[in-house]
């Protein structure tokens, strides 16, 4: 075979790989990132097991940009009664006794120039699991999406498939059923203007 | 350096004593023989010294950012851009000589085109680096490439800057390919004349096994012709687009439809001027008086003269527009340009680019290497001033009187200028040592013709 | 920040000692630390990236090192993370309170807004008020108690004071002196009264370097007793301003400015406009707005006033005989005044001599202004008798009759009259305690320095210009363990553990008890919530003006040849009180556009005569006291008058030390506002003054459209240009919102409040003098000042210039990476994180509203991280930035509205500049909404856009400047 | 005798080579090639009359492809993928796309030219038996070499040697394979 042609073909291949393959490699996407936490808190146990509602701990998710990390006292409302001597909960009791906050490690980290607002997503029928993945089944919280801008855009350009009835937003096990209203309908009902959602200023200020 | 070259009416393109062998050996030996002339070492050392300042300047720039330069608001573009335009003009000069005059089948071009292209390849990197250096966040320049990033955002292709980026990129790549296509047979010659092992290997690899068979020649000729036919419009487009960088803006002093040709004229004159200087240098340094004859210098001088006249035409329009037009901002801008803080630069460019080159009407001037060399040098300075006048005064006197301001170059501005010059010299002298500086295969044809006459 | 990189370039030895160096290390250390941190592969790559200055690369790609989240242990009720909360309090200047609301983010104060319920603010906030938030965080504030210059403790101070107290009690307080500024705080006054009881022989002195003494004396002579005035500009058809600070400095000027502007908008008043006459020696804001203005030296000014008094029948008729300059002008003005009896106001600035104030009052009286445009109230800050003056104190100190001096937040060593030589006197006082915010001159010279609490750190109370009381509540735990004046006084009372909360609350408990308000808790919480004590405004009193007051005037003094020095307050540093505030130092002065310095202001003619140019350093000597000052040639300045702005040239304190020259050194107690016979000598040196305006005139461009009221009434669209906005491009539709801004040139008084408000809201860094000189100032909003007409008395136009948010924006088209683009509301977005810094957008912006981070200005800025506004990105090096119409506020409002499925109502979004503007010159809103404020403004025939010939379709438009000249006076500029 | 690649005749004038080649073709020789220091007019047509030049066509095709690619990239960017309102300009601002299109076209054309040229010359190929001809060293300087390869059916050393000498070859040599 002709050397010149082979060389040019190789050149092309390298370019394609560097653009389309390298960025989606796990090292770059950091998906399944699962840091150590002071307390091995399990959403699986609390949500799937006990059936707690997200808002029981993440109180400001409907009202504020920030969903809210529960204060120690929230943990203690139950754990002053049950598992009062469990070793894993020692840090919680410590914190409550000493008044020193727990130090959780952030799993979903957005850059400082990205302004994400939980409340509006909730209000427009975006379920928690749309971004947090199978959070209800996570023994230890791990990062589900790539959090790439292209990932955000995929939904901001075409929200319809990701919408659900408002009463299902906090249901981590929700599945679309034949009788759920179509995305188009919901979009109309929520007065969502998809064309405006990919404006840069929606997230970057 | 001979003071006055005797130039008979129908001067030969090559000197009488030149044979195929003498030509090949004379040229190849510059590359092959171990002994390097002192003037080369001096030139190369100078280049490296300046290159060092460039490196220092780059490091300081990366540590502190573009704030180290004198630029500000309103004058957000300074030396970096002016010099970018300057370098790209010099570079395009190379292509003009080698491609444009190949199409016109001008015999004198054969001997000088390698110098022209070598000059082009040494100047292009300077032109390429400056716009990147001048970015606020240099590391992100790759966002200009049209590739699908994880951000899902692409370049904004309406921007003249993007056009410019694409042009520059294509231009450099294309120039390298064009250069190489022409160089291949000569590399083969050097390979065959090489005596030491590593040189045989080195040039053997570069020559890709060229063996001058009839078919090789035919393909090479065809491709080279077509390439030239492409490079000619390319070089015109490159400099027109550089012109659009400014004409595309609405800033008074920039927003002018004549910029594309204006800038091209600039490229012609400044490029030729630099080739002239280098030709004289090589001619003298390598003693190639009978290959690079007075005939060549004479031809280059005429091109320079034409360029100067065309440029003068552009200057007239540059002045006529604002004066005749009704735009207050344009007019204040122009009068600021010729009488204001930077007036000296304006008049400097007029004298160096238009007035002095008129001397070239006189044959006697065209035959004196000294005069040609100094006029060319003057033109190159003059062109630098022209770029400066286009970029800086225009910005400093914009639409908003409340935001008129001036730009003072800092030490680091000058360091950038010296540095790019250093880069150019180092590259040029390096290539001078590595590649045959005259296109042997083409000159052979001429020698053959001369002989058959 | 500024200091730091000013020192940066000095010689290394000097560098090592300089405080700047410490800050430098402080600032740079973190960078190096994370470089030296554990170099795992990723960090190493990022480090290399940094080393190669591939700035921004580290922003994208793999995550940076993990961040920690710290929840509360017990969440305080009502605090919702991510939402803002507002708390009311007040800031005071020379005693007078202005109500503010402080915005808190995650329990951190980040922004000051005016309190709409407070009479002195009405929602507006001056530049100084806006900047006070930075004072709160200023790391250069005094932080430790110094005893004899050694670091010492609060306990030691208390013991020291107690020992002294024993002796004092023994001698009934003889030798104990208290020095304060003007005090309006009821609780503090009560404490002082209590102290007076304990120590009968104690004496309380008050010293305000920029006090309104002349005004007070005048009203004593005119009205029998010292009374404060409140002005009712709604009734004033004619305002005659004698170098008046009515809309720039008088207590309550924000409120007056609003009233003032309300009568200068012909569109909204139905074609009526007040008319302003101004005569002044040095330009004032009201002078700039005046329809007729004369620049007169003090002597001419006095003559003019006598002439005016005579014509208006306020003074002896023979005064008409003495010839005056501009007689015709004055006569016309006088006729105008006479025709509007009862609806005029003559107002003289505090710097005017008693004589002028008397004349002004006489004219007011003759024209029936009292009771109409002037209301009288009992003084809000009564200043004691003459033996409570500073002179008396200094006298006693030098005589050795003072052994204990307590100074509360006053700085006499710096600002006392030069002839008193306070410093020498202070050295003779064995025990002097200075409660000070900064380690200023006085604090360093006294035996004890006690760091004071900033106003947002402690409990207190204060009264506004109309007597309204505000109870100040702390906004944050004390940052630098300061102490409030209440606490220090309480120590003298014998209280060893004073707590400001207790002191203030107890005072009000028993106050309400006496006032017979039953439910104290309700009262207390309500007062704190709304920020004022309800109906605590002082009642108006009546006093019959003494018509014969003028007879006491001696003959007019002859004008003396030679230059005279006028001492005036610098408009932004409050006589030195605020000189440590980088925002205020970097804010351009309205007329000179000068930053980071003060300069001797000289009229062009005088400058020519003396052969002086801008930047020439002048040595001014008076009674053997010398000052070297750079010259600034100021159009509109009266001939032979040199204005010396007070408040600069500190030798100690914070950032302000060593900036500018100290004009107090020439100021005497005898003549606090003017000196004659000073000698000037050129030093031959020159000094670089950092001004920010390139050119003073519009240079033929159509930037300021101006006309007269009559023209407007005759032909309402006389300023309109034939519509030119055709375009090749298909129109973009903005169906939902079309955010737009309207700026009224008639209302803008050039006070610079909006500039600082914008800086505070949008995390705009200060750059320092050297960068201003390099024309790299970062303000997103600037107020251009244009002159036209004769240079010795030009007409002035103030033009605020934010981003125009052009619909066909030139900047966007030239950006190669989509870093600045439009959104569907028509906002011109600037996406910092996409910007690679080509700067073409700035080159292509005809309005030059874009700013570039040539260095990492924000990271050099040495304010603590928590003081930034978390809703706005802090820009890093190498990115472009510009006005965003406060997009963070827009998005917040839009999100809240979307949650309720409704459109954002008009007025729900106020940009920072709009909110702070005292005159409502700036209005922002949805252009699509027909009856929104902005749509109505834009409907006006006066509405125009800048450089519309470029067809950029700006969203920001301007209302043309309309003046209301007196037809009998030839128009100053044709 | 051992394997040989062919036999070369070394001439000092281009005309000689041309004549020799013409004669050899008339004798029916096909497997031959000429190596010259500079292109000799018509030599290639003489040696391979039937061969046609594809390169210009290739480059033209490349130009069309390049232009299409260039314009598509820009349309994809501004119109299809992420249409943004940039300064009120229409999404498909085709006049602004022309420059990019033009440059892409030229780049692809030239690249196609270079690679096509190398391909059609069977380059890079660092070894070729003709290099073994000791006289070949001057073929790239000042001599004109004609080589008849051994694979030609009617290849016969002595016969060819005589023909070369008749046409004035200054040297005739065998080229080892």
CA–CA separation, C70 and D155 (whole Å): 92
Indicate the range of B23-32, B135-144, C250-259 predicted with least confidence.
Answer: B23-32
Q: What is the pLDDT of residues B244-291, one digit of tens each?
A: 999 988 999 998 888 999 999 999 999 999 999 999 998 888 888 878
Is the CB of B157 less than 8 angstroms away from the CB of D44? Answer: no
Q: What is the CATH number of domain D4-51+128-176?
A: 3.30.70
Partners of residue C404 on adjacent β-strands: C176, C431
Is the CB of B150 less than 8 angstroms away from the CB of A23? Answer: yes
CA–CA separation, B83 and B424 (whole Å): 13
Residue D33: Cβ within 10 Å count: 22
- SS3 label, residue C828: strand
Mean pLDDT across C365-382: 90
Length of chain C: 974
Strands C956-959 and C943-944, sheet pairing: antiparallel
- SS3 label, residue C555: coil
Indicate the range of A175-189, B105-119, B402-416, C765-779 predicted with least confidence.
Answer: B105-119
Is the CB of B157 less than 8 angstroms away from the CB of D128? Answer: no
Nearest CA to C291 among C267, C264, C270?
A: C264
Paired tokens of C799:
């033009």
CA–CA separation, C336 and C331 (whole Å): 8
* Position B6 confidence tier, pLDDT thresholds 50, 70, 90: low
Q: Is the pLDDT of residue D163 over 50?
A: yes
Q: Are B164 and D96 in contact (CB under 8 A)?
A: no
Minimum distance, in Å, between the CA of residue A10 and any CA atom of chain B: 18
Is the CB of A72 less than 8 angstroms away from the CB of C829? Answer: no
Q: Is the pLDDT of residue C863 over 60?
A: yes
Higher pLDDT: C585 or B23? It is C585
* Contact with chain D for residue B36, Cβ under 8 A: no
Q: Is the pLDDT of residue C29 over 60?
A: no
Identify the H or E element spanning C376: strand C374-377
Specify the residue for token string 């050996």.
B25
Is the CB of A4 less than 8 angstroms away from the CB of D125? Answer: no
Give the rounded distance of the alpha carbon of A54 from its chain centre: 13
Least CB–CB distance from C822: residue in D82, D85, D90:
D85
For an interface test with A, the pick among D54, D112, D115, D117 (most A C-beta atoms closer than 10 Å) comes out as: D115
Nearest CA to A123 among B386, B68, C894?
A: C894
Least CB–CB distance from A19: residue in B147, B151, B153:
B147
Paired tokens of C471:
């109870």
**By CA distance, what is D130's nearest residue in B?**
B211
Backbone angles phi, psi at C787, to 5 degrees: -105, 150
**By CA distance, what is C895's nearest residue in A?**
A120
* Position B307 confidence tier, pLDDT thresholds 50, 70, 90: very high
Q: Is the pLDDT of residue C724 over 80?
A: no
CA–CA separation, C764 and C770 (whole Å): 17
Which residues of D are less than 8 Å from A153 in CB distance? 82
Nearest CA to C245 among C13, C568, C566, C21?
A: C568
Name every residue in C having a CB less than 8 A away from some CB of A: 59, 61-64, 66-75, 80-83, 736, 818, 821, 823-825, 827, 829, 831-834, 871-874, 884, 887-888, 891, 895, 898-899, 901
Touching B: which chains, 3+ CB pairs < 8 A?
A: A, C, D
CA–CA separation, B275 and B377 (whole Å): 11
Higher pLDDT: C691 or C47? It is C691
Least CB–CB distance from B151: residue in A19, A24, A150:
A150
Least CB–CB distance from B143: residue in C694, C813, C817:
C817
- SS3 label, residue C903: coil
The pLDDT value recorded for residue B27 is: 84
Is the CB of A149 less than 8 angstroms away from the CB of B152? Answer: yes
Is the CB of C891 less than 8 angstroms away from the CB of A202? Answer: yes
Minimum distance, in Å, between the CA of residue B73 and any CA atom of chain A: 22
Q: Is the pLDDT of residue C822 over 80?
A: yes
Which residues of D are less than 8 Å from A200 in CB distance? 84
**By CA distance, what is C824's nearest residue in A?**
A196
The pLDDT value recorded for residue C14 is: 38
Q: What is the pLDDT of residues C616-643, one digit of tens each?
A: 999 999 888 999 999 999 999 999 999 9
The pLDDT value recorded for residue C33 is: 38
For an interface test with B, the pick among D31, D38, D41 (most B C-beta atoms closer than 10 Å) comes out as: D38
Backbone angles phi, psi at C741, to 5 degrees: -135, 140
For an interface test with D, the pick among C816, C818, C841, C954 (most D C-beta atoms closer than 10 Å) comes out as: C818
Mean pLDDT across C396-419: 92
Indicate the range of A63-77, B340-354, C931-945, D154-168 predicted with least confidence.
Answer: D154-168
Residue C509: Cβ within 10 Å count: 13
Which residues of C are less than 8 Å from A93 in CB distance? none
Residue B303: Cβ within 10 Å count: 24
Nearest CA to C56 among B138, A98, D121, B445?
A: B138
Q: Is the pLDDT of residue B10 over 60?
A: no
CA–CA separation, C273 and C262 (whole Å): 9
Q: What is the ipTM of this complex?
A: 0.91
Nearest CA to C804 among C822, C817, C777?
A: C822
Touching C: which chains, 3+ CB pairs < 8 A?
A: A, B, D
pLDDT-above-70 percentage for chain B: 97
**By CA distance, what is B163's nearest residue in C?**
C816
Length of chain A: 205
The pLDDT value recorded for residue C971 is: 54
Q: What is the pLDDT of residues C303-332, one digit of tens each?
A: 999 999 999 888 888 888 888 888 889 999
* Contact with chain B for residue A20, Cβ under 8 A: yes
* Contact with chain C for residue B65, Cβ under 8 A: yes
The pLDDT value recorded for residue C16 is: 38
The pLDDT value recorded for residue C31 is: 41
Give the rounded distance of the alpha carbon of C517 from its chain centre: 37
Average pLDDT, chain B: 89
Q: Is the pLDDT of residue C758 over 70?
A: yes
Partners of residue C641 on adjacent β-strands: C564
The structural domains of chain D, with segments of one domain joined by +, span: 4-51+128-176, 55-120
Q: Are C663 and C415 in contact (CB under 8 A)?
A: no
Q: Is residue A10 classed exposed, middle or buried when 0-12, 13-18 and 19+ CB atoms within 10 A define those classes? A: exposed
CA–CA separation, B149 and B169 (whole Å): 19
Q: Is the pLDDT of residue C62 over 80?
A: no
Which residues of D are less than 8 Å from C824 in CB distance? 85
Is the CB of A2 less than 8 angstroms away from the CB of D125? Answer: no
Q: Is the pLDDT of residue C766 over 50?
A: yes
Identify the H or E element spanning C586: helix C582-586
The pLDDT value recorded for residue C36 is: 36
CA–CA separation, C701 and C698 (whole Å): 6
Backbone angles phi, psi at C365, to 5 degrees: -65, -50
pLDDT in tens for each of the 205 residues of chain A?
Answer: 477 778 878 888 998 888 788 888 877 888 888 888 999 999 999 999 999 999 999 999 999 999 989 999 999 999 999 898 889 999 999 999 999 999 999 999 888 899 999 999 999 999 999 999 999 999 999 999 989 999 999 999 999 999 999 999 999 999 888 888 998 999 999 999 998 999 999 999 8
Q: Are B413 and B78 in contact (CB under 8 A)?
A: yes
Paired tokens of B336:
């600021």
CA–CA separation, A96 and A94 (whole Å): 5
Is the CB of D106 less than 8 angstroms away from the CB of B162? Answer: no
Q: Is the pLDDT of residue B443 over 70?
A: yes
Q: Is the pLDDT of residue C100 over 60?
A: yes
Which residues of C are less than 8 Å from D87 in CB distance? 806, 808-813, 822
CA distances to B180, B184, B227, D117 from D123, rounded to whole Å, are 13, 11, 18, 8
Paired tokens of B144:
């200009």
Is the CB of D85 less than 8 angstroms away from the CB of C824? Answer: yes
Q: Is the pLDDT of residue C385 over 80?
A: no
Paired tokens of C17:
């000692």
Sign of the four-CA dihedral C809, C811, C814, C819: negative
CA–CA separation, C211 and C225 (whole Å): 17
The pLDDT value recorded for residue C75 is: 84
CA–CA separation, D64 and D74 (whole Å): 16
Least CB–CB distance from B209: residue in D117, D125, D137:
D125
Nearest CA to C357 among C221, C227, C252, C251?
A: C221
Partners of residue C922 on adjacent β-strands: C743
- SS3 label, residue B76: coil
The pLDDT value recorded for residue B9 is: 53
pTM for this entry = 0.90
CA–CA separation, C364 and C353 (whole Å): 17
Mean pLDDT across B344-362: 94
Which residues of B are less than 8 Å from C839 in CB distance? 71, 76-77, 136
Is the CB of B149 less than 8 angstroms away from the CB of A153? Answer: no
Sheet containing strand C564-569, strands side by side: C674-676, C564-569, C641-646, C600-602, C625-633, C616-622, C679-686
Strands C292-295 and C616-622, sheet pairing: unpaired
Residues C692, C695, C696: CA angle, nearest 5 degrees: 100
Partners of residue C435 on adjacent β-strands: C408, C450
The pLDDT value recorded for residue D132 is: 80
């Amino acid at each position: 075979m002709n050397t010149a042609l082979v060389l040019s073909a190789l050149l092309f291949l390298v370019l394609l790989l560097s653009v389309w393959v390298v960025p989606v490699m796990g090292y770059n996407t950091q998906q399944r990132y699962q840091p150590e936490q002071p307390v091995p808190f399990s959403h699986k146990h609390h949500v799937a097991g006990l059936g707690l509602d997200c808002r029981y701990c993440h109180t400001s998710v409907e009202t504020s940009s920030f969903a809210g990390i529960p204060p120690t006292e929230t943990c203690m409302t139950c754990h002053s009664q049950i598992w009062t001597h469990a070793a894993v909960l020692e840090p919680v009791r410590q914190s409550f006794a000493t008044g020193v906050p727990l130090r959780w490690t952030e799993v979903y980290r957005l850059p400082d120039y990205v302004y994400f607002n939980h409340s509006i997503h909730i209000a427009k029928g975006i379920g928690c699991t749309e971004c947090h993945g199978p959070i209800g089944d996570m023994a230890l919280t791990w990062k589900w999406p790539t959090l790439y801008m292209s990932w955000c855009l995929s939904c901001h350009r075409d929200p319809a498939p990701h919408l659900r009835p408002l009463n299902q937003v906090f249901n981590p096990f929700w599945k679309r059923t034949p009788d759920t209203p179509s995305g188009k309908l919901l979009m109309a009902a929520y007065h969502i203007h998809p064309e405006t959602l990919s404006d840069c200023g929606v997230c970057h200020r | 350096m001979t003071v006055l070259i005797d130039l008979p009416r129908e001067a030969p393109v090559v000197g009488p004593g030149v044979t195929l062998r003498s030509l090949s050996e004379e040229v190849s030996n510059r590359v092959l023989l171990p002994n390097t002339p002192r003037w080369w070492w001096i030139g190369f050392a100078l280049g490296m010294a300046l290159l060092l300042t460039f490196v220092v300047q780059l490091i300081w720039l990366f540590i502190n950012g573009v704030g180290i330069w004198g630029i500000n608001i309103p004058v957000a573009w300074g030396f970096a851009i002016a010099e970018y335009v300057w370098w790209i003009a010099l570079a395009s000069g190379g292509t003009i000589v080698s491609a444009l005059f190949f199409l016109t089948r001008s015999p004198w071009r054969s001997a000088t085109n390698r110098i022209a292209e070598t000059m082009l390849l040494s100047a292009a990197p300077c032109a390429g680096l400056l716009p990147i250096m001048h970015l606020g966040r240099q590391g992100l320049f790759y966002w200009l490439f049209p590739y699908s990033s994880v951000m899902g955002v692409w370049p904004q292709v309406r921007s003249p800057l993007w056009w410019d980026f694409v042009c520059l990129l294509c231009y450099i790549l294309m120039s390298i390919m064009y250069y190489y296509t022409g160089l291949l047979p000569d590399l083969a010659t050097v390979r065959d004349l090489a005596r030491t092992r590593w040189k045989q290997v080195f040039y053997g690899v570069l020559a890709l096994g060229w063996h001058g068979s009839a078919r090789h020649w035919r393909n090479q000729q065809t491709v080279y012709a077509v390439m030239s036919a492409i490079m000619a419009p390319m070089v015109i487009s490159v400099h027109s687009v550089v012109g659009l960088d400014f004409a595309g803006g609405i800033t008074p002093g920039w927003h002018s439809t004549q910029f594309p040709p204006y800038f091209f004229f600039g490229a012609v004159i400044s490029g030729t001027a630099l080739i002239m200087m280098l030709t004289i240098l090589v001619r003298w340094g390598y003693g190639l008086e009978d290959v690079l004859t007075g005939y060549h210098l004479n031809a280059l001088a005429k091109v320079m003269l034409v360029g100067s006249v065309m440029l003068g035409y552009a200057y007239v329009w540059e002045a006529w527009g604002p004066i005749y037009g009704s735009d207050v901002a344009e007019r204040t801008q122009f009068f600021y340009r010729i009488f204001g803080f930077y007036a000296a630069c304006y008049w400097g460019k007029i004298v160096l680019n238009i007035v002095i080159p008129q001397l070239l009407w006189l044959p006697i001037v065209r035959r004196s290497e000294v005069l040609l060399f100094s006029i060319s040098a003057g033109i190159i300075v003059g062109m630098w001033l022209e770029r400066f006048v286009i970029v800086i005064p225009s910005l400093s006197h914009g639409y908003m009187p409340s935001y008129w301001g001036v730009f003072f170059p800092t030490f680091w501005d000058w360091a950038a200028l010296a540095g790019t010059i250093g880069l150019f010299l180092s590259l040029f002298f390096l290539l001078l040592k590595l590649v045959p500086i005259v296109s042997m295969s083409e000159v052979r044809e001429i020698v053959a013709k001369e002989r058959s006459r | 920040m500024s200091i730091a990189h000013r020192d940066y370039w000095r010689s290394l030895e000097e560098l090592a000692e300089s405080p700047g160096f410490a800050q430098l290390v402080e600032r740079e250390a973190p960078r190096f630390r994370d470089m030296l941190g554990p170099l795992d592969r990723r960090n190493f790559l990022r480090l290399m990236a940094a080393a190669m200055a591939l700035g921004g690369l580290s922003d994208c790609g793999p995550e940076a090192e993990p961040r920690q989240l710290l929840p509360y242990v017990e969440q305080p009720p009502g605090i919702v993370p991510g939402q803002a909360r507002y708390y009311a309090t007040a800031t005071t200047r020379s005693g007078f309170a202005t109500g503010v609301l402080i915005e808190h983010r995650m329990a951190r104060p980040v922004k000051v807004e005016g309190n709409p319920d407070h009479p002195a603010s009405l929602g507006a906030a001056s530049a100084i008020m806006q900047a006070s938030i930075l004072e709160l965080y200023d790391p250069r504030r005094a932080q430790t108690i110094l005893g004899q210059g050694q670091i010492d403790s609060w306990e030691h101070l208390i013991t020291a004071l107690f020992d002294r107290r024993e002796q004092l009690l023994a001698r009934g307080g003889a030798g104990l002196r208290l020095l304060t500024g003007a005090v309006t705080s009821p609780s503090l006054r009560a404490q002082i009264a209590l102290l007076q009881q304990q120590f009968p022989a104690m004496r309380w002195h008050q010293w305000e370097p920029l006090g309104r003494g002349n005004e007070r004396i005048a009203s004593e002579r005119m009205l029998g007793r010292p009374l404060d005035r409140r002005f009712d500009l709604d009734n004033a058809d004619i305002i005659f301003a004698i170098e008046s600070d009515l809309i720039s400095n008088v207590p309550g000027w924000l409120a007056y400015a609003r009233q003032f502007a309300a009568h200068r908008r012909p569109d909204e008043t139905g074609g009526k406009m007040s008319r302003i006459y101004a005569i002044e020696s040095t330009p004032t804001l009201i002078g700039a707005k005046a329809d007729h203005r004369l620049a007169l030296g003090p002597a001419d000014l006095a003559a003019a006033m006598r002439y005016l008094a005579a014509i208006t029948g306020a003074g002896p008729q023979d005064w008409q005989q003495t010839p005056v300059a501009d007689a015709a002008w004055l006569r016309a003005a006088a006729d105008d005044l006479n025709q509007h009896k009862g609806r005029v106001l003559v107002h003289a600035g505090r710097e005017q001599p008693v004589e002028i104030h008397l004349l002004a009052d006489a004219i007011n009286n003759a024209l029936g202004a009292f009771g109409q445009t002037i209301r009288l109230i009992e003084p809000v800050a009564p200043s004691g008798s003459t033996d409570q003056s500073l002179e008396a104190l200094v006298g006693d100190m030098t005589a050795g009759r003072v052994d204990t001096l307590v100074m509360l937040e006053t700085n006499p060593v710096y600002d006392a009259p030069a002839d008193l030589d306070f410093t020498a006197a202070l050295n003779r006082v064995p025990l002097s305690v200075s409660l000070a915010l900064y380690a200023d001159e006085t604090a360093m010279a006294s035996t004890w320095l006690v760091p004071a609490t900033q106003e947002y750190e402690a409990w207190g109370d204060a009264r506004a210009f109309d007597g309204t009381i505000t109870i100040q509540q702390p906004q944050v735990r004390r940052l630098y363990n300061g102490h409030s004046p209440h606490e220090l006084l309480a120590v003298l009372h014998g209280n060893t553990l004073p707590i400001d909360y207790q002191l203030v609350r107890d005072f009000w408990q028993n106050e309400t008890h006496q006032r017979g308000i039953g439910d104290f808790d309700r009262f207390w919480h309500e007062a704190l919530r709304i920020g004022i004590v309800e109906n605590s405004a002082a009642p108006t009193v009546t006093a019959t003006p003494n018509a014969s007051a003028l007879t006491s005037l001696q003959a007019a003094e002859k004008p003396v040849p030679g230059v005279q020095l006028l001492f005036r307050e610098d408009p932004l540093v409050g006589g030195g009180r605020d000189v440590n505030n980088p925002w205020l130092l970097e804010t351009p002065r309205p007329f000179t556009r000068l930053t980071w310095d003060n300069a001797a202001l000289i009229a062009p003619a005088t400058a020519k005569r003396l052969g002086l140019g801008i930047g020439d350093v002048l040595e001014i000597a008076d009674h053997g006291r010398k000052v070297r000052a750079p010259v600034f040639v100021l159009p509109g300045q009266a001939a032979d008058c040199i204005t010396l702005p007070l408040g600069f040239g500190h030798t100690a304190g914070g950032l302000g030390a060593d900036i500018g020259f100290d004009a107090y050194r020439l100021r005497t107690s005898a003549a606090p506002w003017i000196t004659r016979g000073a000698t000037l000598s050129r030093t031959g040196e020159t000094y670089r003054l950092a001004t920010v305006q390139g050119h003073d005139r519009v240079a033929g461009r159509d930037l300021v459209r101006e006309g007269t009221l009559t023209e407007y009434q005759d032909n309402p669209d006389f300023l309109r240009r034939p519509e030119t906005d055709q375009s090749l491009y298909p129109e973009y539709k903005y169906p939902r919102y079309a955010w737009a801004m309207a700026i009224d040139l008639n209302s803008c008084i050039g006070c610079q409040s909006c500039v600082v408000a914008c800086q505070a809201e949008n995390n705009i860094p200060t750059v320092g003098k050297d960068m201003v000189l390099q024309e790299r100032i970062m303000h997103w909003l600037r107020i251009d000042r244009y002159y036209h007409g004769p240079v010795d008395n030009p007409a002035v136009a103030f033009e605020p210039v934010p981003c125009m948010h052009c619909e066909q924006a030139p900047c966007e088209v030239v950006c190669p990476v989509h870093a600045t683009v439009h959104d569907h509301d028509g906002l011109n977005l600037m996406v910092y994180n996409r910007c690679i810094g080509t700067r073409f957008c700035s080159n292509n912006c005809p309005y030059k509203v874009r700013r570039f981070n040539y260095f990492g200005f924000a990271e050099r800025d040495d304010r603590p991280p928590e003081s930034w506004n978390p809703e706005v990105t802090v820009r890093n090096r190498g990115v472009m930035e510009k006005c965003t119409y406060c997009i963070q506020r827009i998005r917040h409002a839009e999100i809240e509205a979307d949650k309720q499925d409704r459109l954002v109502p008009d007025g729900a979004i106020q940009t920072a500049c709009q909110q702070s503007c005292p005159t409502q010159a700036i209005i922002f809103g949805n252009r699509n909404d027909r009856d929104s404020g902005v749509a109505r403004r834009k409907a006006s025939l006066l509405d125009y856009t800048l450089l519309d010939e470029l067809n950029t379709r700006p969203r920001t438009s301007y209302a043309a400047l309309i003046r209301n000249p007196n037809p009998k006076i030839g128009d100053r500029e044709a | 005798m051992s394997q040989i690649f062919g036999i070369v005749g070394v001439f000092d004038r281009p005309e000689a080579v041309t004549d020799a080649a013409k004669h050899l073709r008339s004798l029916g020789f096909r497997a031959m090639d000429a190596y010259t220091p500079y292109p000799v007019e018509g030599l290639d047509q003489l040696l391979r009359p039937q061969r046609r030049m594809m390169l210009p066509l290739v480059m033209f095709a490349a130009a069309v492809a390049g232009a299409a690619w260039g314009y598509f990239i820009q349309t994809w960017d501004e119109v299809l993928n992420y249409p943004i309102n940039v300064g009120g300009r229409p999404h498909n601002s085709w006049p602004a796309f022309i420059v990019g299109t033009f440059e892409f076209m030229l780049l692809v054309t030239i690249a196609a030219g270079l690679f096509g040229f190398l391909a059609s010359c069977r380059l890079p190929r660092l070894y070729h038996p003709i290099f073994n001809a000791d006289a070949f060293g001057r073929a790239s300087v000042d001599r004109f070499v004609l080589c008849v390869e051994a694979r030609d059916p009617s290849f016969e050393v002595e016969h060819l040697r005589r023909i070369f000498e008749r046409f004035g070859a200054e040297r005739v040599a065998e080229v080892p394979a």
